[in-house]
């Protein structure tokens, strides 16, 4: 009868002929086990240096929306007759901006 073998990564019992651990899936062959550990370390290093690229495009949408909101608020106080048209224009701008973001992410 064969002596029981154990996985060097998780410690679970395995068969003598097994190439992979049935519990954690690690390679049980010495040269491949080293490569698996090396790949794990490389993956961890890759995730440390993740940056978000903007492709050289600037996002002025927030600036325009802020200026628009300030303009609407001041206009409502100064010229009450412009209240409804400017409010509707602001709502349309917000909806259009939302739709552009929604379709850009598809």
Per-residue pLDDT of 42-84, as tens digits, reads 555 555 555 555 555 566 677 777 887 787 777 777 777 777 7
Q: Are residues 9 and 31 in the same domain?
A: yes
Q: How confident is the model at residue 33 (pLDDT cuts 50, 70, 90)?
A: very low
The residue segments making up the domain with residue 23 are 5-48
SS3 content of the chain, % helix, strand, coil (to 5): 60, 5, 35
Whole-angstrom distance, CA of residue 75 vs CA of residue 88 = 13
* Domain-located, residue 35: yes
Which has more confidence, 79 or 32?
79
Asked if pLDDT for residue 16 goes beyond 70, the answer is yes
* Domain-located, residue 42: yes
Q: Are residues 41 and 71 in the same domain?
A: no
Whole-angstrom distance, CA of residue 20 vs CA of residue 22 = 6
The HSE-up count of residue 61 (CA atoms within 13 Å, CB side) is 10
* Domain-located, residue 36: yes
Q: Are residues 78 and 44 in the same domain?
A: no
């Amino acid at each position: 009868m064969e002596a029981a073998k154990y996985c060097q990564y998780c410690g679970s019992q395995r068969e003598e002929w097994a190439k992979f651990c049935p519990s954690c899936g690690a390679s049980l062959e010495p040269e491949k086990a080293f490569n698996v550990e090396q790949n794990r370390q490389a993956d961890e290093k890759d995730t440390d240096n993740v940056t978000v690229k903007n492709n050289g495009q600037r996002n002025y949408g927030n600036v325009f929306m802020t200026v628009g909101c300030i303009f609407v608020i001041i206009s409502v106080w100064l010229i009450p007759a412009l209240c409804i048209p400017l409010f509707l224009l602001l709502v349309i701008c917000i909806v259009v901006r939302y739709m552009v973001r929604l379709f850009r992410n598809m």
